[in-house]
Structure 1
């Protein structure tokens, strides 16, 4: 599809949205949320933690290696171009565990969970941020490791969209397409919602479609295409993109993104507007600011996030090193590098 296609430009244009939400969401505050990165693009076993950040040990995970005297070596954790996070929410004495995305490979996320001593049998629900394969590839491993009969999986209805990459001058490359039939055959109970969803007795919000209100977050470039039933069309918005939101009592919102295709500023503002909560406490996940199509919006993104004064920013997965550097410079007290196996403890 051409760069100057009128429908694509119109679809990507921001919509002016002001005032409070028409259908506000009453998000119950929680006492604590612990977000553990089960899979990210990097693993650094030498990173230091603090009272809110707990790092995995360098030597976690013994594996066979005959070249050593005892036949073993410490493997650390796997890193791959994908994202997965375990979310534990505590409200009073009740603790609920959700899995947000599953990484790219069938065995990567479950291997890391095993090495970390995490029992995936405790997972009470799965949330997919969107349908791209680097966030849904580990579903097979989850099903094979623990069994998922009746396990609810919350998705946007467009998560099953066929997509491809068609860069100019190159042959198009199909992206793996998630199959609803296959997921249900494995035992997942698929729950489709376009609108916001409340989980865990009203204390976890899944945003559904995100309002696009900024004038700089325009979405994916023309090479990202989707099949509309009649042909391939530019898919700038990735409308199935959604985030997970928790309100930590007396602290503010914790926003967890997969790739942030809706634009991380759009997502944060949408969450604040939906819930009526005035403060962004933490932002964790992929910000999709890597590569030539997105690096031009790093500056306005960082500027907008700085105005929100979050206490914690963890830019993971597809954020890119230039964005990491900019965030670290602008928010030195809030920014923390991500790594597979890191847990973020946020409490009232």
Structure 2
């Protein structure tokens, strides 16, 4: 269902349309002069990618490792790639810059190792934002905890990020996912800020969407194998209601939207950001779009149709987007599409 062109019905279904009525909580988002997004954890690392005016790349030689089999006893290394996502987001207004960390990857050390190899200073961040509670976005908090500059850092997250979840595939063994502990995070010195509604950070320059309105017919959430504990039973958790995105308004360009997994649906998220801010232009969309695997393949054509209509200048679908969706998006928006890779810095 991801080969060829979308049908007229799929195209019509995917076209952006406004939600009824004005936003309940409209946001005045202060425009910024520039945003830099450095992906510190990504599913892929490609040392041969070439940068351009929109993106700078990191190749082999970002670090050195002991390797006795080589003359000199050392070898160049690149960045670690894993099934996870983390990004350092820096906004500039005039000469002033401020930064936040968006997600933290899967393993305890990939975030800090990669940050060191690209020269990213994590001690200067003003806060942490979690897109949702899945472990591939929160595992690296262990490596970050207790480091210089991270004590008493505010961490913005949805209260449902503490939800116990499991994967229970038909005919397979159920596997419970690691669940975040508020007590443990607070004990490490993080200041937990739980919000269901939008939050505005960095003096009004960064919007965290909170819960996202679900307005499309085709973005249906997670499959039945994804379950949550209700307190008495495991039930299908399609919505992943804690899913939220980061939004910045670049002056004279439009909105930059950064997702973790995009469980709310890429098109739902963009529509929600436009409605909240009143800014109609989508300048860039980056992050995981969760279009990987047979359950999500029917969602690819209407998503591509909607994003083609929105016409972002930059599109960096990463992490859990999946190779079929990558191919479809690259073919539909060839000038906007940019290949993801750990250590890349996107300048908008």
> Which of 300, 308, 311 is the matching residue for 2:310?
308
Map 1:84-99 → 2, pairs under 5 A = 84-99=86-101
Q: TM-score, normalised by structure 1?
A: 0.94
Deviation at 1:54, TM superposition (A): 0.5
After TM superposition, the structure 1 = structure 2 runs for residues 196-275 of structure 1, keeping only pairs within 5 Å, are: 196-275=198-277
Offset at residue 57 of structure 1 (A): 2.3
1:47: which partner in 2?
49
Please give the alpha-carbon distance, in whole angstroms, between the structure 2 residues aligned to 1:39 and 1:337.
14
- 1:128-143 to structure 2, matched below 5 A, reads 128-143=130-145
The CA distance in 2 between the partners of 1:161 and 1:23, in whole Å, is: 26
Give the 3-state SS of the residue equivalent to 1:146 in structure 2. Answer: coil
Secondary structure of the corresponding residue to residue 97 of structure 1: strand
Runs (4+) off by over 4 Å: none
Q: How does 1:1-348 map to 2 (within 5 A)?
A: 17-146=19-148, 148-346=150-348
SS of the residue corresponding to residue 246 of structure 1 reads strand
Q: Which moved more, 1:54-63 or 1:145-154?
A: 145-154
User: Match of 1:306, SS?
Assistant: helix
CA distance in 2 between partners of 1:258 and 1:105 (Å): 16
Q: What is the TM-score with the length of structure 2 in the denominator? A: 0.94
Q: Residue 320 of structure 2 aligns to a residue in which SS?
A: coil
Once the two structures are TM-superposed, the CA of residue 170 in structure 1 deviates from its matched residue by 1.2
Residues 198-246 of structure 1 show CA distances to partners (whole Å, capped at 9, x for unaligned) of: 0000110000000000000000011100001111111000000000000
Distance 1:148 1:122 in 2: 9
The number of aligned residues is 332
RMSD: 1.2
Deviations 1:138-177 (Å, cap 9, x if unpaired)? 0010114435221000000000000001111112100000
Q: Is the 8 A contact 1:106 1:140 kept in 2?
A: yes
CA shift at 1:21, angstroms?
Answer: 1.1
